[in-house]
């Protein structure tokens, strides 16, 4: 049982310096579950001091010591994975199967992948008269979101530990419990005091204090583009490194030789996964204009197979969105789609039938969308799909790239080489062909306003490493 009124600093659960709290609301019931303590700049100062002290020794630990530490973390995590999944379901509304297998499971997956990378990673290489050494950046400030809470925590913490960094984590105030359990897991696994620290709090207080802090060497941030810009501006005076994974408005190009049934149904399901609350969701489905009516029929059928409801109930495939702010925003954007003349294929305003409380959104599909409509430009972060018709392949690629974002792209084609050619033309960091999921050992991150960092696997480890060149005579 975690104590939500304490923070984890310097290897111990401690009281916050102030007495501010916040209620955590269950999005499925709209009822308060409990309160959490909120931190302040004074708490950040304490955590940074602990992390800086710990860095002196932890950064000098060996590869074998870090592999052993991460292995112990994985072992403890496995024992508590159901508890993690339940906390995620309670706080952000994911159906239990998704919360345990995909959400909690992703955290374990990143830890295991990092162990594999660390075992063989070359921290030194010879270049002429120089030895190039890769060593820990230092103290890392981590700010993580609510939509995939343990995925985002683990894919930062595991490689930072592997690199020899120390850290302060500010998880989302909407999903604090899974993060507190994670801190408990690290404590039980024997992470040395001060190496990992956790402070709950709000972005304008704790997040801002971390971004501005001269004792933090790097900020690893996942969240909205708007918040990412604020973090970068606050961090600029201290010239700290910034790694950002931000928003998206990802295109899903279905070429004219694709298996239309499979591509459209798969695209709808992927868009609605996690109630549409994924930064890489394929929210702009681009289809041959001549096939629009056929696509609408398939998409309507696929969307109406979704089963919104109680996250704990058997058969639920879609839970609520995380809070009323998000629900209101999504409702406003659905109304924009209707007002701007898109064809409402299914779904629309209000809650799904039979649900009179909770932040549930009707699974919604718009067709005949143009790429200049609000629903095609703004990140909705809910189960809302926009279907856009294109004239030819070149038109599809042009529209796909006509966005300030560049996190992900999807291509479906009968000819895989044709799909690969289109993939090379998309300005995005992750491209998936014919429904193949992301590879956890490959890099994850975006172009343009979707961010400037790369996470996962070897690339995630390298985010937390500095590069040093030592030139000198060869050893005698």
Q: For residue 146, give both structure tokens.
A: 């609510």
Which residues, listed in sequence order, are joined to residue 133 by a DSSP beta bridge?
124, 468
pLDDT on residue 39: 98
The arithmetic mean of pLDDT across residues 28-55, rounded, is 98
The verdict on whether 279 is a catalytic residue reads: yes
Q: How far is CA 383 from CA 30, 135, 320, in A?
A: 19, 42, 10
pLDDT tens readout for residues 439-458:
999 999 999 999 999 999 99
- Cα–Cα distance between 139 and 228 in angstroms, integer? 19
Whether the pLDDT of residue 476 is over 70: the answer is no
Q: pLDDT tier at 248 (50, 70, 90 boundaries)? A: very high
Whether the pLDDT of residue 474 is over 90: the answer is no
pLDDT tens readout for residues 177-194:
999 999 999 999 999 999
**Residues 198, 107, 96: CA angle, nearest 5 degrees:** 105
Whether the pLDDT of residue 359 is over 90: the answer is yes
The single residue listed with the structure tokens 């798969």 is 266
- Cα–Cα distance between 223 and 450 in angstroms, integer? 10
**Residues 33, 35, 41: CA angle, nearest 5 degrees:** 150
CATH of domain 7-246+451-471: 3.40.605.10
Per cent of the chain over pLDDT 70 is: 100
Examine domains 7-246+451-471 and 251-439 and report if their fold is the same: no
Extents of the domains making up the chain: 7-246+451-471, 251-439
The verdict on whether 245 is a catalytic residue reads: yes
The secondary structure of residue 414, as a DSSP letter, is: S
Whether the pLDDT of residue 276 is over 80: the answer is yes
| pTM > 0.95 | yes
Selecting among 91, 279, 379, 455, the annotated active-site residue is 279
Q: How far is CA 412 from CA 7, 260, 389, 440, in A?
A: 47, 9, 15, 21
With CA atoms as reference, report the closest residue to 246 among 462, 459, 437, 405: 405
Q: pLDDT tier at 250 (50, 70, 90 boundaries)? A: very high
Q: What mean pLDDT is reported for the chain?
A: 97
CA 120 from centre of chain: 27
- CB-based burial label for 426 (10 Å; 0-12, 13-18, 19+): buried
Class of domain 251-439: alpha beta
Q: For residue 341, give both structure tokens.
A: 């003349």
Q: How far is CA 414 from CA 109, 264, 299, 430, in A?
A: 31, 14, 19, 20
With CA atoms as reference, report the closest residue to 143 among 453, 374, 462: 453
pLDDT on residue 254: 98
Selecting among 100, 245, 379, 455, the annotated active-site residue is 245
């Amino acid at each position: 049982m975690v104590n939500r009124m304490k923070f984890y600093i310097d290897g111990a659960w401690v009281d916050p310096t102030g007495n501010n709290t916040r209620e955590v609301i269950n999005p499925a019931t709209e009822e308060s579950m409990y309160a959490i303590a909120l931190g302040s700049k004074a708490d950040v100062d304490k955590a940074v001091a602990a992390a800086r002290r710990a860095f002196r020794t932890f950064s000098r630990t060996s590869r074998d010591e870090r592999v052993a530490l991460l292995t112990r973390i994985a072992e403890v995590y496995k024992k508590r994975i159901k508890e993690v999944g339940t906390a995620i379901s309670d706080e952000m509304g994911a159906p239990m199967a998704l919360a345990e297998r995909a959400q909690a499971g992703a955290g374990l997956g990143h830890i295991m992948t990092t162990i594999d990378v660390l075992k063989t990673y070359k921290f030194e290489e010879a270049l002429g008269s120089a030895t190039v050494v890769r060593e820990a950046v230092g103290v890392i400030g981590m700010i993580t979101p609510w939509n995939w809470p343990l995925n985002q925590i683990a894919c930062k913490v595991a490689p930072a530990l592997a690199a020899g960094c120390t850290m302060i984590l500010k998880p989302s105030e909407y999903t604090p419990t899974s993060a507190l359990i994670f801190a408990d897991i690290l404590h039980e696994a024997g992470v040395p005091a001060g190496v990992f620290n956790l402070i709950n709090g709000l972005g304008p207080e704790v997040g801002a204090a971390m971004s501005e802090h001269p004792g933090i060497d790097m900020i690893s941030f996942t969240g909205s583009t708007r918040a990412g810009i604020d973090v970068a501006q606050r961090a600029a005076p201290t010239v700290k490194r910034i790694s950002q994974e931000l928003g998206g408005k990802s295109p899903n190009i279905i070429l004219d030789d694709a298996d239309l049934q499979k591509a459209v149904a798969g695209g709808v399901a992927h868009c609605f996964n996690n109630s549409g609350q994924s930064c890489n969701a394929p929210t702009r489905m681009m289809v041959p204009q001549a096939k629009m009516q056929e696509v609408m029929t398939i998409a309507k059928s696929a969307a109406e197979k979704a089963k919104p409801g109680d996250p704990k109930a058997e058969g639920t495939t879609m839970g609520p969105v995380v809070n009323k702010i998000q629900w209101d925003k999504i409702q406003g954007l659905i109304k924009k789609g209707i007002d701007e003349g898109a064809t409402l294929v299914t779904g629309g305003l209000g809650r799904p039938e039979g649900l009179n409380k909770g932040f549930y959104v009707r699974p919604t599909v718009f067709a005949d969308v143009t790429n200049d409509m609000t629903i095609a430009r703004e990140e909705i972060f809910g189960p809302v799909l926009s279907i856009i018709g294109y004239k030819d392949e070149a038109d599809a690629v042009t529209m796909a790239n006509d966005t300030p974002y560049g996190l992900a792209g999807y291509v479906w084609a009968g000819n895989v080489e044709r799909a690969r050619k289109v993939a090379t033309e998309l300005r995005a960091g992750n491209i998936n062909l014919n429904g193949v999921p992301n590879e956890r050992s490959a890099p994850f991150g975006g172009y343009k306003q979707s961010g400037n960092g790369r996470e996962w696997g070897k690339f995630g480890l390298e985010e937390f490493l500095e590069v040093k060149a030592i030139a000198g005579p060869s050893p005698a």
